[in-house]
């Protein structure tokens, strides 16, 4: 029933939570953040910038993927490297998504309605093909509903004539609230924004960019972003469930904030894994700069060194990956075994992984 939605609660938007329970989760996540910061301190500025760009690219791809949009990783990395300082003549989805996240983590410290409108225009530079009448760079002119694939309404946003008032309160709090830990502030801000659901489309991506915007001050320039969307994309059901369960009822959001801060902690750990993987990759190519590899070997080694690749290599898989015969695959692998680049897996002599001492 509509009256059960949080925005109809007499205390909305005064969210409450158990500070003792939340503090425990904050301390855990802060310790993980310090590990990540310390790892960044141990690498060169050039290496740091390269890895940060890679992290940003992953986050852009993941937040789009949550909404069912698939982007090209190479094009995203090119867009970040070029920094896309102008919004003129943006050509594709990769540049669009990169521009929004870069503005969130490196742009102005004040959030305004116009800035959100700019993000919305960036996400829909050519309008919405599914709804040509959808307002672009403006709040929705119809009351928003969230429906399941079968058409069942699972959330009804506030009435259109209240959106400006809701968003003005939200933006005033977002800019003025300084007494709340950034992890808590990011969690409340994301829930609050999604409850208002001000745009006809793009609320999820903009809401997650607001998380990055809030966290940038806590993360410092040495980190810029965590892999929060990269983590969420693998647990979308839990993410949507957390938002859905907290769209109605009382104003206590303790359980939601525990989930949210635990998600930040998991995202930070994922960032550490990515960072370690990038450091390993750079060290591999530095140590083997003089070693000769054929094109097939280079292709597979790049795959093995990618932080997302967790599988082992077999001769059959090598053959499929490089479109070569089983015999050629065997020769390629045997060559890398002799060079000390690969070793047999502990579980099988027919499975191969990168050698730890590379």
Q: Residue 220: pLDDT above 80? A: no
Chain centroid to CA 22: 23
Same domain (yes/no): 158, 267: yes
> Is 240 labelled a binding residue?
yes
Query: ∠ CA 140-145-148 to the nearest 5 degrees?
Result: 140
Cα–Cα distances (Å) from 272 to 53, 276, 326, 334, in that order, read 15, 6, 36, 32
Residue 164 lies in a domain: yes
Out of 259, 279, 299, pick the residue that ends a domain: 279
Q: 60-81 b/e with 16+ CB inside 10 Å = b? A: bbbbbbbeeeebeeebbbbbbe
On whether both 193 and 271 belong to a single domain, the answer is yes
Q: How many domains does the chain divide into? A: 2
Domain encompassing residue 106: 2-279
Is 7 annotated as a binding-site member?
no
- Residues whose CB falls within 8 Å of the CB of residue 321, separated by 6 or more in sequence, listed in order: 299, 300, 303
Q: Is 49 assigned to a binding site?
A: no
Residues 52 and 79 in one domain: yes
213 and 342 fall within a common domain: no
Mean pLDDT of all residues in 94-108: 83
**60 neighbors 297 (Cβ within 8 angstroms):** no
Residue 206 assigned to a binding site = yes
Dihedral pair phi/psi, residue 101, rounded to 5°: -65, -40
CA angle 254, 258, 261 (to 5 degrees): 130
Domain contains 336: yes
Predicted pLDDT of residue 3: 65
Q: What is the mean pLDDT of the chain?
A: 89
Quick check: is 253 in a domain? yes
Q: Based on the domain organization, do 300 and 273 belong to the same domain?
A: no
* Residue 13 preceded by cis peptide, ω within 30: yes
Structural domain includes residue 258: yes
Q: Do 212 and 350 sit in the same domain of this protein?
A: no
User: Residue 97 falls within a domain, yes or no?
Assistant: yes
Confidence of residue 92 (pLDDT cuts 50, 70, 90): low
- Which tens digit of pLDDT belongs to each residue from 314-341? 999 999 999 999 999 999 999 999 999 9
Q: Both 76 and 223 in a single domain?
A: yes
What's the pTM? Answer: 0.86
The annotation status of 296 as a binding-site residue, yes or no, is: no
Do 188 and 149 fall into the same domain? yes
- Express each pLDDT in 261-311 by its tens digit: 999 999 999 999 989 988 888 889 999 999 999 999 999 999 999 877 877
Residue 130: pLDDT over 90: no
Q: Are residues 101 and 132 in the same domain?
A: yes
Q: Does any domain span residue 348?
A: yes
Task: Indicate the residue among 252, 279, 306 that finishes a domain.
Answer: 279
Q: Is the pLDDT of residue 164 over 90?
A: yes
Residue ending a domain, among 227, 245, 279, is 279
User: What CATH number has the domain bearing residue 308?
Assistant: 1.10.10.10
Distances (CA, A) of 257 to 14, 158, 164, 220, 228: 14, 23, 26, 22, 14
* pLDDT above 70 as % of the chain: 93
The C-alpha atoms of residue 93 and residue 71 are separated, in whole angstroms, by: 7
User: What's the CATH code of the domain at 66?
Assistant: 1.10.3290.10
Catalytic residues, by residue number, are 197
Per the domain annotation, does 132 fall within a domain? yes
Reported as a single tens digit per residue, the pLDDT across 166-185 is 999 999 999 998 899 999 99
Contact 275, 234 (CB under 8 A): no
| 286 in a structural domain | no
Question: Is 201 marked as a binding-site residue?
Answer: yes
The answer to whether 127 is annotated as binding is no
Ligand-binding site membership of 202 (annotated)? yes
Please tell me the distance from the alpha carbon of residue 11 to that of residue 36, in angstroms, as a whole number: 38
Same domain? For 303 and 262 the reply is no
- Whether the Cβ atoms of residue 94 and residue 79 lie closer than 8 Å to each other: yes
Question: Is the domain of 242 the same as that of 160?
Answer: yes
**Domain match, 49 and 9 both:** yes
């Amino acid at each position: 029933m509509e009256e059960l939605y949080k925005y109809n609660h007499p205390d909305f938007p005064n969210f409450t939570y158990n500070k003792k329970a939340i503090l425990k989760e904050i301390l855990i996540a802060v310790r993980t953040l310090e590990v990540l910061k310390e790892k960044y301190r141990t690498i060169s500025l050039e290496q740091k910038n390269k890895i940060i760009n890679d992290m940003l690219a992953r986050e852009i791809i993941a937040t789009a993927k949550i909404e069912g949009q698939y982007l090209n990783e190479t094009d995203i990395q090119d867009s970040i490297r070029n920094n896309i300082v102008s919004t003129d003549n943006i050509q594709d989805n990769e540049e669009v998504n990169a521009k929004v996240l870069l503005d969130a983590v490196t742009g102005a410290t004040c959030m305004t309605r116009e800035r959100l409108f700019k993000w919305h225009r960036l996400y829909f530079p050519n309008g919405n093909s599914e709804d040509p009448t959808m307002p672009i760079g403006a709040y929705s002119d119809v009351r928003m509903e969230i429906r399941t694939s079968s058409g069942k309404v699972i959330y009804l946003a506030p009435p259109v004539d209240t959106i400006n008032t809701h968003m003005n309160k939200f933006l005033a709090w977002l800019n003025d609230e300084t007494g709340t830990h950034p992890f808590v502030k990011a969690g409340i801000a994301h829930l609050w924004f999604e409850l208002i659901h001000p745009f006809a489309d793009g609320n999820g991506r903009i809401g997650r960019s607001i998380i990055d915007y809030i966290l940038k001050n806590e993360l410092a320039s040495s980190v810029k972003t965590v892999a929060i969307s990269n983590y969420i994309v693998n647990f979308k059901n839990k993410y949507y469930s957390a938002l859905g369960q907290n769209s109605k009822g009382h104003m206590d959001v303790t359980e939601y904030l525990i989930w949210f801060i635990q998600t930040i902690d998991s995202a930070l750990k994922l960032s550490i894994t990515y960072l370690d993987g990038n450091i390993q990759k750079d060290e591999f190519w530095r140590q083997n700069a003089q070693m000769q590899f054929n094109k097939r070997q280079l292709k597979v080694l790049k795959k093995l060194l990618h932080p997302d690749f967790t599988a082992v290599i077999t001769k059959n898989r090598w053959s499929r990956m490089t479109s070569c015969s089983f015999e050629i695959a065997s020769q390629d692998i045997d060559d890398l075994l002799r060079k000390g680049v690969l070793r047999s897996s502990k579980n099988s002599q027919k499975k191969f992984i990168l050698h730890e001492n590379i």
